Chains A and B, each alone.
Chain A
Amino acid sequence: MPTNIDLKALSQLPDSKGHFGPYGGRFVSETLMAALKQLEETYEKLWRDPAFQEEFDRDLAHYVGRPSPLYFAKHLTDKVGGAKIYLKREDLNHTGAHKVNNTIGQALLAKYTGKPRVIAETGAGQHGVASATVAARMGLECQVYMGAEDVQRQALNVYRMKLLGAEVIAVESGTRTLKDAMNEAMRDWVTNVDDTFYIIGTAAGPHPYPKLVRDFQCIIGREARQQCLDQTGRLPDALVACVGGGSNAIGLFHPFIEDENVKMYGVEAGGYGVETGHHAAPLSAGAPGVLHGNRTYLMSDEAGQIVGTHSVSAGLDYPGVGPEHSFLKDTGRAEYVDATDEEAMDAFRILTRVEGIMPALESSHAVAYAMKLAKEMDKDQTIVVNLSGRGDKDIHTVAQIDGINI
């Protein structure tokens, strides 16, 4: 890591215009500018309001079930042979992933701004389920945009959303995946901006979303930091999290930014291998550009068109990434690597068999890299892996890969 960066200043970003260095910002059409400004003002006020904080904390404790455990994966550690691997069990949250930390927060913002309708985009369906869940609880109308291809591969979550009272809209445009769902959600928001709150599912999009989603997700890192101190008497040596848009990763990383000895590894989807071009790894193989309201690393071709991505996990199948990760990469504070479909599948099977924990395919990418990393580290060192979601939703995908029809 470069020694000349001011970690305290880095942890206080974004600036007042939503910039993380050259990244982030607010690149949207004019119709949305007023709504984003209003959201920013509401958020800045409420986030400092003790009553809001108390309500948020109470929901996280009694509805989500926080704090989530930090579990020492002894059997996985023994099998790998190397650094001790700890799992931050976001899979044990209500609805089965870290996504709900953010939707609880944004639903409270929707409530305080008096908007009766919420919309969301979703890839794997976890954010859609988490949005439909909070909408059901608060009596809000909810529509979820989902790429038609993802509707196919995540049928279970689609039905879950319907049971919760949400309408799932299959998006047929473009590549029919997460990026197209996000386009369509933006179009809906432009049209219905007066009565609709857009619950963005990841720490990306126009300012203030990358900031507020991060702030809501930072509960992961704050808990993990304290739990690690309590259980091991010191901070971890490394953090590992998967990165699609990057909300679970930034939630884990951010509270450790100033702890300069804690290394951070974001694991992107290597798909069939980054060298094949069929992947979803903009930080590893892309370049800066502008999409979905922010400047960030993107996968686009030499003419600036966004290119199709591939990952076995729908939740990582996205050509962009949250802008804070782009800046953490450029500053060298975090390192970004990838795990292929095959490596993630192996990790899925190993964790399931040795620990009895079935990770989401997204989180399996983090487990895969952590297993590699642990081997290169000493036995007295520790790695905290964000187990961002549970794998129940992926059973069909895994069975299909195994050639089994359920």
Chain B
Amino acid sequence: MSRISSSFEKLNAEGRKALIPYVTAGDCSPEVTVPLLHALVEAGADIIELGVPFSDPMADGPVIQLACERALAHGVRLSDVLDMVSEFRKTDAETPLVLMGYLNPVEIMGYENFAKNASEAGVDGVLTVDLPPEESDEFNQIMQAQGIDTIYLMAPTTEEERVKYICENGSGYLYYVSVKGVTGSSALDVQSVSDKLDIVRKYTDLPVGVGFGIKDAESASSVAEVADGVIVGSVLVNKIAELVKDKAQIAPQVSAIIKDMRTAMDS
């Protein structure tokens, strides 16, 4: 069983929901990332989404755009991100790790190469923002051959027929984008999320994580009521941005946000 499935299974048995933080690899500087990932796990993260920096992050708001720019200023490449994953895996063999990013760096590395390198590094899943299932037959096959889950997005604009289609193509978990907009958008409406997830669950037993618009412990815990996982990104990245000049504080202060969310979700 993959690390992602066993993680959700364990949480399910304990009656808890997954807490899934997102950070951009190499944000501020490359040596910050791996200790930060360990701190996030320590604070209660169940799965980690690690962003691969891209020059043109079209689906992201200003917060994650700037994180990409900070990482790219240090020349962080996809191959460097895979090195970070290997480093992380030296002391954490359990926590599932998902790469989230855009297709072009993967295209340039080549699907086969990427799948092989990612699998060797210890990547469990990939979420490619600008690769919908329509364009991903070859990609899915190659990832699955290396035991890597392909995670797809669903949005408020996704109609029921398409929900079914996406459910058939995804593996690991599904990522429901709670609002129309880019990352870091305005607050979400839990009731409409709940209604949409009822439709999604007609077509799949895969766990569903909800992201976009989760800003604090309170919103994390209300989303945890209706979803299998709570995905948190911009609020963490914002904290990293505040601490650019005080890098030693990044791991403790960012993981403190996760710890608060964990407490609220479990109580």
Contacts and interface: CB of A to CB of B under 8 A. Distances in A.
A32 B132 CA distance: 10
Given A173-B65, A191-B181, A193-B180, A29 B105 contact: no
Given A288-B107, A289-B107, A306-B55, A17 B158 contact: no
Contacts of A298: 104
Interface stretch (B37-45, B56-64, B195-203): B56-64
Given A27-B131, A30-B166, A33-B157, 13 more contacts: A29-B153, A31-B59, A34-B155, A34-B158, A174-B55, A187-B58, A190-B181, A191-B180, A191-B182, A289-B104, A291-B104, A303-B108, A305-B72
B162 interface: yes
Contacts, number: 124
Interface in B85-134: 102-109, 129-132, 134
Contacts of A288: 107
A186 interface: yes
B contact patch SS: loop
A300 interface: yes
A10 interface: no
A190 B182 contact: yes
B189 interface: no
8 contacts: A30-B152, A31-B177, A32-B157, A173-B65, A183-B57, A186-B58, A186-B59, A288-B107
A194 B180 contact: yes
Interface residues of B, number: 44
B106 A304 contact: yes
B104 A30 contact: no
Given A303-B108, A306-B104, A193 B157 contact: yes
Interface residues of A, number: 40
Given A187-B182, A190-B181, A34 B109 contact: no
Interface of A: 17, 25-35, 173-174, 179-180, 183, 186-187, 190-194, 287-293, 295, 298, 300, 302-307
Given A29-B58, A29-B130, A30-B158, A303 B152 contact: no
B153 to A, nearest CB: 4
Contacts of B130: 27-29, 290, 293
A300 B77 CA distance: 12
